[in-house]
Structure 1
Amino acid sequence: MNRLALVMGLALLAGCATVKNSHVRPDYETVDKTQVKRLAVVTQPLPDNVQKVGELWSLIARRYVNQNRDFIAKVNTAVDGNPEDTSFKDLCVEGIEGILWLFPTVKRTGAGVEAAVKAQLLRCRDGQEVWGAEAAGSWPSEDERYKELTAQYTGELGPDVTPYVAPTFRLLSATLDTLPRPQLGESDVEEKIELGE
């Protein structure tokens, strides 16, 4: 029994090993938990300088936070170059309360991908950071556990994204699992259900 507990504990630690650090504003529980729920996801600059791979990052992140972190991520985009405005005010349109910004560094290596991300959740009303995290790792492009996921995103975005799907999912899921959970009201839950993700 103790051996099983040790193996399970090591497996859990291995799943989190890619996250170097993460932090949440000290006033999150009293301020942003009920005010920053509706997000736009932006990946900038483009990972490996490929537009479709940037779209993959933003789409995976949008779906992941909708399904696993209780946010209502409404839109996703990928933009070339370094951002001129790191508060992304142009994306803070009506109905968007925060920006989930992914700043990737990605490189293909043989049969895999080396990737790192600096991620931030910025609130729209003042551009202040609510949450931030950094993570990195190296993974094979082909992974049996992510075969269906790879086929799904390849079907949606084309073959350019195929070698990036599994590594991107592994990096972003570990990173985004450190996000706090917003508090949703009844109307928020209905809105989330309507999104269908």
Structure 2
Amino acid sequence: MTTMRWAPLLGLGLLAGCSAVKHHRVRDDYAQVDRQQVKRLVVVTQPLPDGKRPVGDLWSLIARQWVNQNRDFIVKDNVAQDGRPEDLTFRAQCVEGVEGVLWLDPTLELVGGGADAAVKAQLVRCRDGEEVWSAEAAGSWGSKDEDYAQRVTQYSQELGEGVAPYVVPTAKLLGAVLNTLPNPELTEADKDEKIELGE
């Protein structure tokens, strides 16, 4: 059911990915190391997109839901913070049970009936602060799209009406960039944990 809800985003993300994603990379040893060791994540959006906390919360929430529904990671929390990160290893987020931080570094500006948006995304592993994956994407999207109308309503109710014009551009940009994330390998216990998460 959750997969169906995100099916339009996945399709559009794949289409947009051709032009929106500028580049992405994964560690050479990902299959041997991080695929089994970096599964439980926290999403951090920092700095705040367009300088607005509710929009930062929107970015982190959309990313958390997309990754939980379209990848085998277990995203346990999502946060948005002001300013540039002082610690690029994100030690403060690497609490017990968290193995990696998915950092979103956004640039966003409303323009006309839509937004110009860009993101530098990075997956950092907690044990040593090393980069596991990174990607950059950018593009311009309108704020109106019938395929996203239900989500615009849902996020507006949850985070405030002010996020409405940001939902479609954010969802399309993040769908494109997160589609380049690798997939971890889950044990049976991990799979049970992910099911219990229920996202």
- State the TM-score, normalized to the length of structure 1: 0.93
* Paired AA for residue 186 in structure 1: E
Q: Residue 171 of structure 1 is aligned with which of 168, 173, 178?
A: 173
Q: Which runs of 5+ in 2 are unaligned?
A: 1-12
Specify the alignment match of 1:150 in structure 2.
Answer: 152
- Measured at CA, do residues 168 and 13 of structure 1 come closer, stay the same or move farther in structure 2, by a change above 3 Å? closer
Specify the alignment match of 1:93 in structure 2.
Answer: 95
CA contact (8 A) 2:17 2:177 kept: no
How far residue 17 of structure 1 moved from its aligned partner, in angstroms, is 1.5
Deviates more, 1:151-160 or 1:48-57: 151-160
Partner-residue secondary structure (3-state), 1:17: helix
Q: Is 1:21 aligned to 2:28, yes or no?
A: no
How far residue 15 of structure 1 moved from its aligned partner, in angstroms, is 4.5
Q: Residue 139 of structure 2 is aligned with which of 114, 137, 140?
A: 137
Q: Deviations over 1:73-127 (max 9, x none)?
A: 0000000000100111000000000000000000010110000000000000000
How far residue 69 of structure 1 moved from its aligned partner, in angstroms, is 1.0
State how 1:36-55 maps to structure 2 within 5 Å.
Answer: 36-55=38-57
* Paired AA for residue 30 in structure 1: Q
Q: Is 1:191 aligned to 2:172, yes or no?
A: no
- Measured at CA, do residues 73 and 141 of structure 1 come closer, stay the same or move farther in structure 2, by a change above 3 Å? same
How far residue 150 of structure 1 moved from its aligned partner, in angstroms, is 0.8
Whole-angstrom distance in 1 between the partners of 2:158 and 2:191: 27
How far residue 163 of structure 1 moved from its aligned partner, in angstroms, is 0.3
Partner-residue secondary structure (3-state), 1:113: strand
Whole-angstrom distance in 1 between the partners of 2:163 and 2:86: 27
Aligned alpha-carbon RMSD (Å): 1.2
Identify the structure with bigger relative contact order (alpha carbons < 8 Å, sequence gap 6+): 2
Partner-residue secondary structure (3-state), 2:50: helix
Q: Residue 110 of structure 2 is aligned with which of 108, 111, 126?
A: 108
Q: Is 1:84 aligned to 2:49, yes or no?
A: no
Moved over 3 A (4+): 11-15
Q: Percent identity?
A: 64
Whole-angstrom distance in 2 between the partners of 1:13 and 1:80: 31
* Paired AA for residue 46 in structure 1: L
- Measured at CA, do residues 109 and 162 of structure 1 come closer, stay the same or move farther in structure 2, by a change above 3 Å? same
Specify the alignment match of 1:126 in structure 2.
Answer: 128
* Paired AA for residue 91 in structure 1: Q
* Paired AA for residue 98 in structure 1: G
How far residue 16 of structure 1 moved from its aligned partner, in angstroms, is 2.7
- State the TM-score, normalized to the length of structure 2: 0.92
Specify the alignment match of 2:3 in structure 1.
Answer: none
Deviates more, 1:12-21 or 1:107-116: 12-21
Whole-angstrom distance in 1 between the partners of 2:14 and 2:68: 23
Whole-angstrom distance in 2 between the partners of 1:12 and 1:53: 23
